[in-house]
Amino acid sequence: MLRRLLSRRARAEPPTPPAQSTGQLDNPELEAIVGGIVARGDWHDGRVRLVVEVGTGGGEGSTVAIHRPLTAADCSFELIGYEGDAGLAAQAARHWSDDGDVRVVNEYFMHREDLDRAVKPHIAPDDRDVYLPEFEAVAAKENFLATTPPGPIDLLLIDSVRYTHLAILRAAAPWLRPETVVVMEDDIPGYGELAIVETELELRDVVRHELEAHPWPVVEFRLGS
């Protein structure tokens, strides 16, 4: 069923987190969302599903919440976690080193030029002092997307830094299909990553999940009209 839940429920606004926040998202509700996607998509046909996570952090948060339902469903999958920060990526790589289904890539899953085109223009006035220096620092890095996904993405989960989601979707475009499911945090109170993404992309099957144990909702959608 097509659901476009664009109205914003009044919520207590959580404080703006620091741009480099590594808040872990090993959340049972996120786990249930991924489990539902696997069940609805009938991921048991033997085909290896490609799951890409952007913003893996130290690998012990959202990656665990994604990995658990994939394993429980006993489907074939490859989970690639992209993490731009070298220290966190190394930590995540160590954590998952014994799991052949999981690979950690120390790259920013976006293109440098999109920081100017699709990230900075959307920063809310109150956030500019915090986030502009953060993105200037990222722009000076060398590890932007080079290790490309090995095929079409079945599930793309974005748990990155505020304002980067549109740039990530731009970078992912060659591997997105009409059936690809995107799940992302919608973490700008009263504004929203979803609203920013919708300035440029046509979305369908939009579902907004309010999480009890997390300050921000998660949105799920597919691309295309």
Residues 38, 110, 169, 184: which binds ligand SAM (CB under 6 A)? 110
Q: Cβ closer to ligand SAM: 21 or 204?
A: 21
Q: Cβ closer to ligand SAM: 160 or 180?
A: 160
Say if CB 8 and CB 193 are below 8 A apart: no
Residues 4, 8, 16, 22: which binds ligand SAM (CB under 6 A)? 22
Instruction: Please identify, among the stretches 1-9, 35-43, 83-91, 189-197, the one whose residues bind ligand SAM according to the rule CB under 6 A.
Output: 83-91
Closest CA to 207 of 52, 6, 14: 6
Q: Cβ closer to ligand SAM: 189 or 205?
A: 189
Q: Is 102 a binder of ligand SAM (CB under 6 A)?
A: no
Token pair, residue 61, equals 């948060």
Helix 62-72 to helix 28-40 angle, to the nearest 10 degrees? 40
Here's the x/- map for ligand SAM, 181-220, by CB under 6 A: it reads as: ----------------------------------------
- d(Cα 182, Cα 100) in Å, to the nearest integer? 24
Residues 82, 96, 163, 191: which binds ligand SAM (CB under 6 A)? 82
Shortest spacing between CB 46 and ligand SAM, in angstroms = 29
Q: Cβ closer to ligand SAM: 4 or 209?
A: 209
Map residue 164 onto helix, strand or coil: coil
Say if CB 55 and CB 159 are below 8 A apart: yes
For residue 223, what are the β-bridge partners? 203
Q: Is 77 a binder of ligand SAM (CB under 6 A)?
A: no
Q: Is 131 a binder of ligand SAM (CB under 6 A)?
A: no
Look up tokens 């966190």; give the residue: 88
Touching ligand SAM, residues 134-153 (CB under 6 A):
none
Strand order in the sheet with 181-185: 102-105, 77-82, 49-54, 155-158, 181-185, 218-223, 203-209
How many residues of this chain bind ligand SAM (CB under 6 A)?
25
* Separation of CA 14 from chain center: 20
- d(Cα 111, Cα 28) in Å, to the nearest integer? 32
Q: Is 91 a binder of ligand SAM (CB under 6 A)?
A: no
Q: Which residues bind to ligand SAM, rule: CB under 6 A?
A: 21-25, 54-58, 61-62, 82-85, 88, 108-110, 159-161, 164, 168
